Structure 1
Amino acid sequence: GEPVVEGRALTVRTAIEETAPYLIGKDPRRVVHHWQAIYRHAFYRGGPILTSALSGIDQALWDIKGKALGVPVYELLGGPTRDRVRVYAHAGKPDLLKQKKALGFTAFKCGPFKMRPARFVETPTFVGKVAEAFAALREAAGPDCDIGIDFHGAISPALAKVLIKALEPHLPMFVEEPINCQDHGLMAEIARGTHLPIATGERVYTKWGFREVLEKKAAIILQPDLCHAGGITEARLIAGMAEAHYASIAPHNPLGPISLASGVQIAASIPNFLCQEQVTLGEGYLKAPFKVREGYLDLPTGPGLGIELDDAQMADKIDHEWKNREEYDADDGSVMDW
């Protein structure tokens, strides 16, 4: 499993260690039972740390069960709903996009052009540069590729409306976290004001968090992160809820190949999958990395998550100290979102 909160790895590790006494000596194949026990026996439930710890445990339990039975996880979830899984790559500049396209990707994601952290309201110059930068990516990709744009929850509601209008002629695949994800009602207002699909979910946890997104119609593309939202068990339930609301699933994943492998298993077992984010196909981590072909990954046929970690190659990647960026306004020094 891949239980981590970006910038809080040691905190999550402590949560795993605190959960270990419950798991030791129990049958790992009772995956849903253990999910319920770990989640519900904690009086203070949910949140990024505890749910991320649970997510990683859940991934590992599904992997154990699949390997014990000799089948991929998607077979345990009802069998494959598709023959291959579409993935997208990060590409913020035209040259990089062309490189990724040459590698076989047909879908991409970028952030808005950033001359500096965005202020609450912005100048016509700032808005124009955001639109021009995305137009350049669209030209590099061509009309047959998809490009999503991620505001990263760092844009004010007032500015988000203006930027979305400027981007509409270029038809982004989706606008991700156009505003901070904590106010689904306000995000629903943004969604009603545009014909572009709104996406959110990387900082939403469990079925209960996504219920509010769906009920308020805040997004039509849900992006549960299988390392944060509750793992494979919970992502399957979130996908079912989304299907009932005619929403699609595009699992979030800025992390590693275990997260990718978990997302692929979910993609292969639900009807309303859209596209899977990835930042690594497993080179330097897996004995057999994933391979992109015409924008897709073939379904893994190995048991469990369908991957094997390469301990020798991973030796230099243990105990990294990734930290969140600190953004400040260049003119007055005030704290900014990143």
Structure 2
Amino acid sequence: MNEHQGKYSGIKITAVETFLVEGNCCFVKISTNEGITGLGEGSISDNKVGTIAQCIKDMKGHLIGKDPTNIEYLWQGLYRWNRWHVGVLFSTALSAIDIALWDILGKVAGLPIYKLLGGAARDKVRIYTGGGGKSGVQHARSIGCNAVKTGPPVTKVDDNLTVPMPWDLGRAVKQIEEMRLEGGDDFDILIDAHGRLTPTMALEYCKAIEPYRPFFVEEPIQVEGSNDALEWLSDHTTVPLCMGERNFMKWGFQDIIGKRIVSYLNPDIVHCGGISEFKKIAAMAEAQYIQVSPHITYSKVGVTAEIHVGMNCPNSVIQEMSTYAAEPFKETTDWRDDLFFGHKYQIENGFVTLPDTPGLGLELNEEVAKAHPYVPFLRPELRFEDGSVEDN
């Protein structure tokens, strides 16, 4: 037992609070009798944030009085004591609590989370930003990244809510061709189809872009049901496929990993079950030589947690950072830059590193959070040209 562990041997959870913040963000703060707190995130990209906060509050009774350092016991209890434990809202609430518990454990041990997971498997984590066309490649280069994610332009040029029939395959392929010419062979192009393509559309798109060597195509089709359509697509293209953003818990990845249907998984740490479950999913994938690329979350809490597991997991090869990749180059700031106390990302030449700050390395600025309360946000209503509903 080290000095920190001995000092906090009687630590117990005393309070569980949630903060709903603009941008569909839900944060959880777990307090203890020793004055140590943990921060977690349970955000989601639509108007279900209040439901997730209520799920967290519903689990509070299983947490108060418990030792927060027994993370696996609490994860198993929260999952199994709640009989209905399938669904993204439940798994997001559990993920938020799990991340906060790891934050507490790191502070108790006086170590960053990645050290608790077994230490670093690499010196730094490769990152990518977002952007489309030549300008997207140029922006990535300007901030030191040699990788960028784009999406196929599925909707009409003059109407971003309507998918034409037939869709403009030529326009989508030309985008990738131009990006490859601009980036050269030493540049990676990642593509997120966002589940908006039918299997037939996905196959013709993947076949057409094979010569341009995309890093992967993410969510080429929808995730519901069996993985038969995904397996069919994988068997008919050489383009590496990626899934996982909307899968949760290890069981949601089991079939994809077991059949090695994809080359990459991109679990989202605020949906898949938290740090504890992400580590297990990555280990399952490693056994099938599947690489991992964590999906960006909604705030620095989730992204930082993913960088911690990215430092540790040997098959986690690239981290989605979006606008955070340009943080060292920001000339202006807004309230989001003041939402957290703690370290800023240390980014250089397309890689990010973490300081040896105990735990997660971030604290919520509660005054800023309260000054920017959550406002419900509905996702846009996409349709095909004939008026039928398209996935978003």
In the superposition, the TM-score normalised over structure 2's length comes to 0.81
CA contact (8 A) 1:83 1:299 kept: no
1:187-212 CA distances to partner (integer Å, 9 max, x unpaired)? Answer: 11111111121100011111111111
1:333 aligns with 2:379: no
Say which of 99, 108, 115 aligns to 1:68: 108
Taking the aligned partners of 2:163 and 2:199, their CA distance within structure 1 comes to 12
1:45-68 CA distances to partner (integer Å, 9 max, x unpaired)? Answer: 121000000001000000011011
Match of 2:353 in 1: 298
Match of 1:160 in 2: 202
Taking the aligned partners of 1:94 and 1:111, their CA distance within structure 2 comes to 13
CA contact (8 A) 1:255 1:279 kept: no
Match of 2:23 in 1: none
Say which of 113, 117, 123 aligns to 1:77: 117
Match of 1:21 in 2: 61
Match of 2:149 in 1: 109
Out of 292-301 and 195-204, give the one that drifted further: 292-301
Say which of 236, 243, 260 aligns to 2:303: 260
Taking the aligned partners of 2:368 and 2:323, their CA distance within structure 1 comes to 14
Match of 2:30 in 1: none
Amino acid at match of 2:216: F
CA contact (8 A) 1:185 1:218 kept: no
Cα shift at 1:299: 2.8
Closer/same/farther in 2, CA of residues 327 and 258 from structure 1, 3 Å limit? same
Closer/same/farther in 2, CA of residues 111 and 254 from structure 1, 3 Å limit? farther
Amino acid at match of 1:142: G
Match of 1:137 in 2: 179
1:235-269 CA distances to partner (integer Å, 9 max, x unpaired)? Answer: 10011110110111111114111111110111111
Taking the aligned partners of 1:39 and 1:245, their CA distance within structure 2 comes to 26
Amino acid at match of 1:87: I
Rg bigger for which structure? 2
Structure 1 unaligned runs (5+)?
none
SS in 2 for 1:143: coil
Amino acid at match of 2:238: H
Number of aligned residue pairs: 334
1:95 aligns with 2:135: yes
Cα shift at 1:286: 3.5
Aligned pairs for 1:1-338 within 5 A? 1-7=40-46, 8-116=48-156, 117-118=162-163, 122=166, 126-182=168-224, 183-281=226-324, 284=337, 285-287=339-341, 288-311=343-366, 314=369, 316-329=371-384, 331-338=385-392
SS in 1 for 2:41: coil
Cα shift at 1:118: 4.1
Taking the aligned partners of 2:197 and 2:378, their CA distance within structure 1 comes to 21
Amino acid at match of 2:187: C
Q: Which has the higher strand share?
A: 2
Amino acid at match of 2:63: L
Identity, % of aligned pairs? 34
Cα shift at 1:142: 2.7
Cα shift at 1:314: 4.5
Structure 2 unaligned runs (5+)?
1-39, 157-161, 328-335
In the superposition, the TM-score normalised over structure 1's length comes to 0.93
CA contact (8 A) 2:260 2:290 kept: no
